[in-house]
Structure 1
Amino acid sequence: MTLMMVATALGWVGAVAGLVAYAMVSRGRWNADSLAFQGTNMVAGVTLLTVAATNGVWPSVAANIAAILIGMNAVATVLRAKKRPARNAPGLTVVEGTAQDRTEPAGQPAAPPHGVLASPRSSAGTPGVGHRVYAEAA
C-alpha cells in the first residue's frame, strides 16, 4: 500500500465525515455548537488536510487549517460554557399576591400590579384564590 493510497482513503473518510456533519445539522439532529458536529468537522478537516498536503494542494491545506482552528475555538467555547457554574444562569423570581393585597374603591376592581395576573373573583364579588407568577431574572 502506497502513501498515495492511504491519503486517498483518508480523503474519502474526511469527505464522508464532512458530509455527515453537514447533513446532521441540516436535518436538525445536531446543533452547530454541539461537540459531535465540531468534532466531526475537525476530523474531516484533519483528513482532508493530509490529502491536500500529500498532493501539494496548498490552498486546500490553508483552508483546512483554518477550519480546524475554527473548530478548536468552537469546542473550547462549548466546554467553557459547560463548566460555567449554575449560579450564573438566569433564575426565576416568585411574585405572589392576592386580591386582598390591595384596596379597591367601591364598585371598581383595581388593576393588578405590573407583572401580576388578576385573581379570579367569586360570583359574590369576594376575592378569589391567590396566585403565583414566575418572572425570569434578567
Structure 2
Amino acid sequence: MPVTLDSIVMFLGWIGAAAGVVAYAMVSRGRWAASSAPFQLTNLTAAGLMGMVAAANGVWPSVAANLVWIVIGVQAVVVLLRARARRRAAVVDGRATGAVVPVLTSSDLAPATEAVVVPDVALPDDEPSPREVGLAA
C-alpha cells in the first residue's frame, strides 16, 4: 500500500487531535497549569496540525479558528518567554538570592540577634504563575 500525501496529512491531523486532547486532559487533571510552557506548546502543535488538515481539505471555518488558536498560542508563549527572562535577570541581579539580612534595633547601635530571610522569588522555569505571565486577572 503506497503512502500518499493525503494519508500523511490525515496522520498528522490525528497527532494534532491527540495533542489537543492531551493538553486539555493534563490541565483538567491539574497536572499542567494553563500558563505552563508544556500546555501552551502542546496546544500550539494541535492547532497547527489540525489547521493544516483543515486547509488541505478546504474546511475554511476550521482553518480560521485554528489560525486564531495559533495566534493566541504564540502570544502566550512570547509572554512566558518574557516572564522567564525577567525571572532570570532578577536572579542574576541578586534580587532573588535568598540572602540573610540583619534586622537593626531602633537605636541602630547593634544588630539584633534575629535575621530576616529574603525568600527566593524566582519560580521554576517551567511553571510561572498565571498572574506573572498575564494570563490571569
Q: Give 1:76's aligned residue.
A: 78
Q: CA deviation at 1:131?
A: 5.9
1:32 paired with 2:43, answer no
Counterpart CA distance in 1 for 2:23 and 2:52 is 19
Indicate the structure (1 or 2) with the bigger Cα radius of gyration: 1
Report the Cα distance in structure 1 between the residues aligned to 2:103 and 2:42, rounded to whole angstroms: 49
> Hey, what's the Cα distance between the residues in 2 that align with 1:132 and 1:51?
61
> Which runs of no fewer than 5 residues in structure 2 stay unpaired?
107-112, 120-137
Give the TM-score of the pair, scaled to structure 2. Answer: 0.64
Pairwise CA RMSD: 2.8
Q: Which residue of 1 aligns with 2:58?
A: 56
Deviation of 1:2 (Å): 2.3
> What does residue 8 of structure 2 align with?
6
Identical columns (%)? 50
Matched AA of 1:16: A
Query: Which deviations, in whole Å up to 9, do the C-alpha atoms of 1:41-87 show, x marking residues without a partner?
Result: 01101110011001100010000001011000000000000101216
**Mapping of 1:1-138 within 5 angstroms?**
1-84=3-86, 85-86=89-90, 96=103
Structure 1 residue 96 displacement after superposition: 4.8
Structure 1 residue 4 displacement after superposition: 2.2
**Distance of 1:8 and 1:71 partners within structure 2:** 23
Alpha-carbon distance between aligned partners in 2 of 1:75 and 1:89, rounded to the nearest angstrom? 25
Match of 1:119 in 2: none
1:6, CA displacement in angstroms? 1.7
Structure 2 residue matching 1:56: 3-state secondary structure: coil
TM-score when normalising by structure 1: 0.64
Alignment-mate amino acid for residue 57 of structure 1 = V
Alignment coverage as a number of residue pairs = 108
